[in-house]
Amino acid sequence: MIEKLFKLTENKTNVRKEIIAGLITFLTMSYILAVNPSILSATGMDKSALFTTTALATIIGTLLMAFLPNLPIAQAPGMGLNNFFAFSVVLTMGYSWQMALTAVFIEGLIFILLTFFNVRELIVKSIPQTLKEAIPVGIGLFITLIGMKNAGIIVGNPNTLVCMGDLANHNVWIAMIGLIVTGALFAMNVHGSILIGIVIATVCGIFFGEVHTPEAGIFSLPPSIEPIFFKFDWNHIFTFDMLVVVFTFLFVNLFDTVGTLIGVASKAGFIDEKGNFPQVKKALFADALATTFGSILGTSTVTSYVESCAGVASGGRTGLTAVSTAFMFVIALFLSPLFLMVPASATAPALIIVGLFMISSIIKINFNDMTESLPAFLTIVMMPFCYSIAQGIVFGFLSYTFLKVCTGQGKKVSVAVYVIALLFLIKMVIDALHLV
């Protein structure tokens, strides 16, 4: 049965290798059970319900990746996308979390259609490469800023906008200890470094009196998801703001997913001699379905996790690895008190480390060409400085289009980019005139 489902022999693997690989993938990404509820609860969503929803969305998304394309890739609510959901759409733009969930649901449905008609691959090819490289860098800096803010390392200041936080604050030291430990573990190639760092930081929080252990024990039935389940708001569905939010979710998830899939596939040897990835369409379907189900459950966009590379490096080659990972998340469902006691300062190092990983693509940007480097630079800096991923994308597209046209290189700009830039320009005019 297992052989028939996952083709272990064909992929030169066995049950033992796959299970171990799945366990390792779980260890590298299980931090999401603590981090995602911490981030999304800032919107007013129920933190306990978010724990259960995060686990369920991860289980469903990972199983979809296991059985549709038969890949050793796990899916969960995406880092960066959850920050955009909470801190841009809800806390900055002022919309309800119900409206944000609606945008994620619409995104999922659109992705299903785009994947069916092979549009996702075409869109990827039409977007300027410089923006593809800049967006994850900007998101990385934005996530890092969020992490430092949550830890109290950086605080607001009316004179300088931001400044160093109070070193007498225990949370600062909890985060710094967690960051150093996590960094050291990564340097030594220890699997599950992020999770271990969170655990040690949480233990430090107990020592400092900032964390209290659950009185009823660490085992319990999963908290109800009723407070956030199927909570959609259709009042803003036909507004331009909804269009911008949906597009941003679409855009960021599009490149995050495709980049992760190609990276993991290359590491696992799934890319053929022509550079093609045969299972890509099924994988993109799994991603689209996971996002749709995730929004119904009550979480932000679900996407493929680059941490899956750890499992692949350990020998994982089939969907059985993903099944093993999903099973570990099922067990974690019954440990909610353990994960919910984790403070924001303990998860902050995870945000900072993920931010570090995301800025690596900056080396691929052509800084010798102003028409390429300036749009990339604006994309990167506007995200943390405006506290908005969407604003970074807006300024990136507009500056790229204008610079190319003004320098006589308009033919290098695709029709898709012109259309997107026009939509963003209209949005800026509407905002300037205070029409919405």
As a whole number, the mean pLDDT across the chain is 87
Q: Which residues fall within 8 angstroms of residue 329, CB to CB, at 6 or more apart?
A: 26, 30, 33, 55, 58, 59, 62
Task: Report pLDDT for 90.
Answer: 92
Q: What pTM does this model have?
A: 0.76
Using a pLDDT cut of 70, give the percent of the chain over it. 96
> Which one has a higher pLDDT value, 48 or 279?
48
Instruction: Evaluate if residue 18 carries a pLDDT over 60.
Output: yes
Q: What is the mean pLDDT of residues 26-45?
A: 91
Token digits of residue 81: 């996308």
Q: What is the mean pLDDT of residues 151-161?
A: 91
pLDDT (tens digit per residue) in 74-128: 999 988 889 889 988 899 888 899 999 999 999 999 999 988 888 877 766 677 8
Query: Which contiguous run of DSSP H or E holds residue 75?
Result: strand 75-77
Instruction: Evaluate if residue 431 carries a pLDDT over 80.
Output: no
Query: Among residues 392, 364, 296, 348, which one has the least CA distance to residue 179?
Result: 348
pLDDT (tens digit per residue) in 384-410: 998 877 788 889 989 999 999 999 999
pLDDT (tens digit per residue) in 270-311: 776 665 677 888 888 999 999 999 999 999 999 988 788 778
Task: Report pLDDT for 27.
Answer: 81
- Which residue, chain included where needed, has tokens 């233990």? 203
What residues does each domain of the chain span? Answer: 2-128+210-342+361-432
Instruction: Evaluate if residue 436 carries a pLDDT over 60.
Output: no
pLDDT (tens digit per residue) in 169-228: 999 999 999 999 999 998 998 877 888 888 899 999 999 988 888 777 778 889 999 999
Task: Report pLDDT for 216.
Answer: 73
**Contact in structure between 36 and 80 (CB atoms under 8 Å):** no
Instruction: Provide the residue type at 394 as one letter.
Output: V
Residue 318, exposed/middle/buried by CB under 10 A (0-12, 13-18, 19+)?
buried
Euclidean distance between CA atoms 335 and 54, whole angstroms: 13
Token digits of residue 267: 């590491």
